[in-house]
Amino acid sequence: MHPAVILEQNLRAVRARIAGACERASREPAEVTLVAVTKTVDAATTQMLIDLGVRDLAENRQQAAAEKLPHVPGLHDPGRPRLHFIGPLQRNKVRRVLEQFDVIHSVDSVKLADEINKRAIELGRPAVDIFLQVNVAAEGRKQGLEPAEVHEALRELAAACPRLRVLGLMCMAPQADRAEAARPHFRRLRELAHVPVNCGLSVALPSLSMGMSNDFEVAIEEGATHVRIGSLLFEGLPPLVDAGA
Ligand SMILES: *Cc1c(COP(=O)(O)O)cnc(C)c1O
């Protein structure tokens, strides 16, 4: 089968599963953005996704993205898809990431947020959409703010980073055999997105970036608005010689 045909079938299957999860949760599929994670595929495959109507693409490494994305013609059209940065972000890469990407999901410290705000001013970018990444499972080696730090970080950003628009929170559930194991972590993220304002009132941040190939349906049931899906979309495609991790 031609790769585009395989990709189209995979995409249709993923969209059907998103719709199924939405139905179980009494949600509208339009509330859930499929963010296609293209970090393991080449420019031609990325372009095929755009041709199939995918409107949101994600990469996790600035350098690899800088080499690949110029070779994706659909990213240079006026109505191009939105580009999401989802990987660990060092402060010295912020400027380049801002030049390439529309949304950053992996803001894991106030220091990094400050740097993004500062660079946005330098670049004349009026607003940058971000998610704060939270280490929901409190695993020592995973990146992200500790759950207990999230609300204080939001207060600091509101005071010090006027160029940043915090869409919501992002997390990665720990690897597990069963998708169900991720549920408490996703639920925790949703609860953290309710930010106390005063006198017992809280406001909910609008977006939750959670759920990957192996657990996105559970994430949608728990309120995900952005699911980041890679490997499931590319199942059955011939492997690349030089696939990034
Ligand atoms: C790679 C990656 C994904 C997609 O993972 P799959 O299991 O391939 O769907 C999602 N989020 C982040 C942060 C990633 O690095």
Residue-range domains of the chain with CATH: 3-234 (3.20.20.10)
Nearest to 36 by CA among 5, 62, 8: 8
Taking the CA of residue 39 as reference, the ligand 1 atom at the shortest distance is: 1
Q: Whose CA is nearest to atom 6 of ligand 1?
A: 230
Cβ atoms 130, 104 nearer than 8 A = yes
Cβ-proximal residues to 156 (8 Å cutoff; 6+ apart), any chain: 110, 113
pLDDT at 77: 87
Q: Which residues of the chain have pLDDT under 70?
A: 140-141, 240-245
pLDDT at 157: 97
- Report how far ligand 1's centroid is from the alpha carbon of 228 (Å): 6
Nearest to 108 by CA among 129, 130, 123: 130
Token pair listed for 140: 């020592």
pLDDT at 141: 65
Rounded (to 5) percent helix, strand, coil in the chain:
45, 20, 35
Cβ atoms 85, 59 nearer than 8 A = yes
pLDDT at 1: 84
Best residue among 14, 49, 57, 86 to mutate for probing ligand 1, ranked by most atoms within 8 Å of CB: 86
Quote the radius of gyration of the chain (alpha carbons, Å). 18
Q: How many angstroms separate the first and last alpha carbons of the chain?
A: 25
- Report how far ligand 1's centroid is from the alpha carbon of 159 (Å): 32
pLDDT at 140: 65
State the Cα–Cα distance between residues 87 and 70, nearest whole angstrom. Answer: 19
pLDDT at 241: 55
pLDDT at 242: 54
pLDDT at 142: 74
CA 37 to chain centre: 9
Cβ atoms 126, 96 nearer than 8 A = no
State the Cα–Cα distance between residues 154 and 176, nearest whole angstrom. Answer: 30
3-class SS of residue 226: strand
Best residue among 212, 213, 216 to mutate for probing ligand 1, ranked by most atoms within 8 Å of CB: 212
pLDDT at 228: 98
Taking phi over 0 as left and psi of -120 to 50 as alpha, with beta for the rest, 124 belongs to: left
